[in-house]
Amino acid sequence: MAFSYMPGFGNDFETETLPGSLPQGRNSPQRPAYGLYAEQLSGSPFTAPRGTNERSWLYRIRPSVKHTGRFKPADYPLWKSAPNVGDHELALGQYRWNPVPMPKEPTDFIAGMRSITTAGDVLGQTGMAAHVYVANRSMVDDHFFNADGELLIVPQVGALRFVTEMGVIELRPGEIAVLPRGLVFKVELVDAEVRGYVCENYGAKLTLPDRGPIGANCLANPRDFKTPCAWFEEKETPCRLTVKWCGNFHVTEIGHSPLDVVAWHGNYAPYKYDLATFSPVGAILFDHPDPSIFTVLTAPSGEEGTANIDFVIFPPRWLVAEDTFRPPWYHRNIMSEFMGLIHGQYDAKEEGFVPGGISLHNLMLAHGPDSTGFEKAFRADLKPVKLDNTMAFMFETRFPQMLTRYGAELETRQDNYIDCWADLKKRFNGTPEGDWS
Ligand SMILES: [Fe+2]
């Protein structure tokens, strides 16, 4: 079955699966067509300014009060929420990991969530968590929603299908999806095994960054974001709904599928985006801009220019700058950087940072090209070079990212990561020429 999508970012969408199921000219008629219930899903306070006011109207077989019953506690011990501090002994450092191993036991998307870092405070609705998901089993009668934040999903291995109450998103590596806070969904696997990264955003929603002098085009263009058309199932079988709420998990049993929205309209909705449609802007003479030039989505913190989260990619691009050290420069940062590699090679670290791997460069901890990368870059013949077969990304936050016990003890952590800078030589010799031997 092919699922369809509507283009645009933050549009006021409307979609119906049955003719006339979406009320026109009003939100809450006395008797909605097809015997549907009208329900509003609010992603912002009612009184938020127009530019950030987000809500959708859902026309569904049963109202959501019928999609929860009495809750019982549920246990997902590897999915952590901030603050999650001091649960391991690992000393401070720059860290890097090989990929998180695939599970040996049957594991669905929710059970397969492994938190690597948390930042900020879930109760204060600030900060984020960075997770890796690994799964080998579809959710069939199990459903989930996250009251703690929206989920930015970055697949790295395998295609998946996010069957949400507002429509179906098919997603493969190279694409990303954002599922808003509170949205009910289940995850079906298209491929046998899947792995990817998730940024759980506790704060204000991800949005497109301003472009400033770049103008009205380039970077992520709004029309390349795709929101699913309505889709529903009428399934009267025992189902479960699990909720993540203030860091804890709760499960409730219901007698039917909660994915029963026949029509909806509004601007609070899930979406996907193909990273290949990102139009990068960069240096065309010398130096290069800060990596913020590659921001796909940003979640504001309330302080101007200081993001709760920036989602930044490092896409294929031409390097043409003259008399320039072309890889990312050495760097210390007030923002904390969680990086992943979807495929290919990252130019500052050609070895050791592998697809599915992770690196973490936290608040004010130094990082930059490894010794090999530095040597190669200062010796390079600076003709135009196409940096191809690469797609790295960064979840960057204003808050320090606290490593979880799972991340600290993960067997794929590279204990020798720090050694990647060991061979950087002293090149100062008191002469203007320096020692570039
Ligand atoms: Fe950095």
Q: Is 343 part of the annotated catalytic residue set?
A: no
DSSP code for 406: H
Q: Which of 67, 131, 250, 288 is catalytic?
A: 288
Ligand 1 centroid from CA 417, angstroms = 16
Q: How many residues can be counted in the chain?
A: 437
CA-CA distances (angstroms) from residue 417 to 98, 133, 197, 345?
11, 23, 21, 17
pLDDT recorded at residue 139? 98
The confidence band for 350, taking pLDDT boundaries of 50, 70 and 90, is confident
If you average pLDDT over every residue of the chain, what do you get? 97
The confidence band for 351, taking pLDDT boundaries of 50, 70 and 90, is confident
Query: For tokens 């890796």, what's the residue?
Result: 132
Q: Does 186 have pLDDT greater than 80?
A: yes
Read off the pLDDT of each residue in 94-116 and give the average, rounded to a whole number: 98
- Cβ–Cβ under 8 Å, residues 412 and 97: yes
- Tens-place pLDDT, residues 304-331: 999 999 999 999 999 999 999 999 999 9
- Cβ–Cβ under 8 Å, residues 135 and 109: yes
Read off the pLDDT of each residue in 94-106 and give the average, rounded to a whole number: 98
Beta strands in 126-171 (DSSP E): 126-135, 142-146, 150-157, 160-164, 167-171
- pTM over 0.95, yes/no: yes
342 burial via Cβ count (<10 Å: 0-12, 13-18, 19+): buried
Ligand 1 centroid from CA 326, angstroms = 15
Ligand 1 centroid from CA 361, angstroms = 7
What percent of the chain stands above pLDDT 90? Answer: 97
Ligand 1 centroid from CA 382, angstroms = 23
Read off the pLDDT of each residue in 262-284 and give the average, rounded to a whole number: 97
- Per-position DSSP letters for 248-295, written without gaps between them: EEEEEEESS-S--EEEEEES---EEEEGGG-B----SSSS---GGGGE
Q: Does 338 have pLDDT greater than 70?
A: yes
Ligand 1 centroid from CA 416, angstroms = 19
pLDDT recorded at residue 1? 67
Domains of the chain with bracketed CATH: 68-93+102-261+269-275 (2.60.120.10), 279-420 (2.60.120.10)
What percent of the chain stands above pLDDT 70? Answer: 100
- Tens-place pLDDT, residues 140-159: 999 999 999 999 999 999 99
Ligand 1 centroid from CA 102, angstroms = 29
- Tens-place pLDDT, residues 203-214: 999 999 999 999
- Per-position DSSP letters for 324-352, written without gaps between them: S--SPPPB--SSEEEEEEEEE-BTTBSSS
- Tens-place pLDDT, residues 35-65: 999 999 999 999 999 999 999 999 999 999 9
Contacts of 114 (CB under 8 A, 6+ apart): 78, 79, 100, 131, 132, 133, 134, 406
143 burial via Cβ count (<10 Å: 0-12, 13-18, 19+): buried
CA-CA distances (angstroms) from residue 427 to 219, 305, 420, 435?
38, 36, 18, 5
- Tens-place pLDDT, residues 371-414: 999 999 999 999 999 999 999 999 999 999 999 999 999 999 99
Ligand 1 centroid from CA 295, angstroms = 13
Read off the pLDDT of each residue in 67-81 and give the average, rounded to a whole number: 97
Q: Does 262 have pLDDT greater than 90?
A: yes
